Amino acid sequence: MIDVIIIGGGIAGMEAACTLHDFGFEIIILEKDKHLGGHLQNWDTLFPTKRNASEVLDHYVKEVQKRSITVYLNTDVTSVTKQDNGSFEINTSREVVFKCKTVLMTTGYDLFNAERKEEYGYKIYDNVITSADLEKLLQTNKGELRSPSGNPIKSVAFVHCVGSRDEKSGNHYCSNVCCVTGVKQAIKMRQLLPEAQVFNFYMDLRMYGAGFEEMYREAQEVWRVQFIRGRLSEVAETIDKRLQVKAEDTLSARPLRMHVDLLVLLVGMEASKATGDFAQSCNLACAQNRFVETADFHIASNKTNVEGLFTAGCAIAPLSVFDTVNHAKAAALTVKEHLRLNN
């Protein structure tokens, strides 16, 4: 019987697969997408180093290939059921039933659908995009960067906390990485468009990781990004496809109105649909925020309420790439210990 089936072939899944393989276990990765890599495939650069995301992605894909780890792509998991002997059966969209001793869920996250915040005009106005769209634009852009409507970009506004810390969208939590993503993208816009003005509208700035605060200072001191404490109340399109935004500067308590050529919504992370789809089949406990509830937040964050079913990465909460890799390594150690005790 297979030792570990890993559900999800993003960085958490690939990191854990390689580490577990090197411990001598037999691994299978089930990935719903047609490629390995998860969301990392869609990022242009990573904070705080600004290195190309493709370097990290290529590293992991090569490591998986080097070890000849079995990967099933285009495979949705429909149910995970625990057997009386403690092993697991996994049903998939391929109509193949996989059997294994342990399961590691690295099902990641879904990006918040910005259409749910109608007031920002996403998918209504051409030049309102999300932070993920901007990454895609930067990945594929050759030559001068223009707005989706084809206009030159003379001003850009970023909106923080879209779909996070927001009662209306049902997500009270902070998504952790969108502040630093906004800083990274604001710097990039100033680098590509030195004449453009760049504004970041925030509630609080959360620069919790190594190198994040330094990047925030760089954005202000070197790149003259303007950070405005305030929330946008309204966005409207003008006849020339520019965007009129209304906000309140909450530090000076003054209303503010401006025109920008591009509005970027820093969308948060939500628990992935993939997790929810099979959680019920194995009685997996999820927290109120719909992410997987770990057995013990501080000392067993890779264990779940189901013995033999483990988790890593953004399945438990919004995490950076740095934290995801470390959490996945810890998961591999936890699974190894479980297999040692139960074999």
Q: Does the protein bind ligand SF4 through residue 58 (CB under 6 A)? A: no
Of residues 190-219, those binding ligand SF4 (CB under 6 A): 204, 206
User: Pairing relation of β-strands 128-130 and 45-46?
Assistant: unpaired
Listed in sequence order, the residues at least 6 apart from 72 whose beta carbon sits closer than 8 Å to its beta carbon are 28, 29, 30, 31, 92, 94, 96
Q: Name the residue type at position 48.
A: P
Within 10 Å of residue 222's Cβ, how many Cβ atoms? Answer: 11
Taking the complex as a whole, the smallest distance from the CB of residue 319 to ligand SF4 amounts, in Å, to 12
Nearest CA to 112 out of 175, 167, 157, 53 is that of 175
Taking the complex as a whole, the smallest distance from the CB of residue 108 to ligand SF4 amounts, in Å, to 17
Give whichever of 18 and 178 is closer to ligand SF4, judged by the CB atom: 178
Q: Does the protein bind ligand SF4 through residue 271 (CB under 6 A)? A: no
State which of residues 108, 268, 308, 313 lies at the interface with ligand SF4 (CB under 6 A). 268
Give whichever of 207 and 295 is closer to ligand SF4, judged by the CB atom: 207
Q: In whole angstroms, what separates CA 52 from the centre of its chain?
A: 16
Give whichever of 29 and 177 is closer to ligand SF4, judged by the CB atom: 177
Of residues 91-110, those binding ligand SF4 (CB under 6 A): none
Give the pair of three-digit tokens for residue 164.
């996070």
Give whichever of 284 and 317 is closer to ligand SF4, judged by the CB atom: 317
Q: Does the protein bind ligand SF4 through residue 161 (CB under 6 A)? A: yes
Q: Does the protein bind ligand SF4 through residue 165 (CB under 6 A)? A: yes
Give whichever of 88 and 212 is closer to ligand SF4, judged by the CB atom: 212
Query: Does residue 211 come out as left (phi exceeding 0), alpha (psi in the -120 to 50 range) or beta?
Result: left
Taking the complex as a whole, the smallest distance from the CB of residue 158 to ligand SF4 amounts, in Å, to 9
Dihedral sign (CA 228, 232, 234, 240): positive
Kindly report the three-state secondary structure assignment for every residue of 85-113: CCCEEEEECCCCEEEEEEEEECCCEEECC
Q: Does the protein bind ligand SF4 through residue 156 (CB under 6 A)? A: no
Give whichever of 91 and 209 is closer to ligand SF4, judged by the CB atom: 209
Q: How far apart are alpha carbons 256 and 260 in whole angstroms?
A: 13
Of residues 244-263, those binding ligand SF4 (CB under 6 A): none
Of residues 166-195, those binding ligand SF4 (CB under 6 A): 174-176, 178-179
Listed in sequence order, the residues at least 6 apart from 62 whose beta carbon sits closer than 8 Å to its beta carbon are none
The contact set with ligand SF4 (CB under 6 A) reads: 160-161, 164-165, 174-176, 178-179, 204, 206, 266, 268
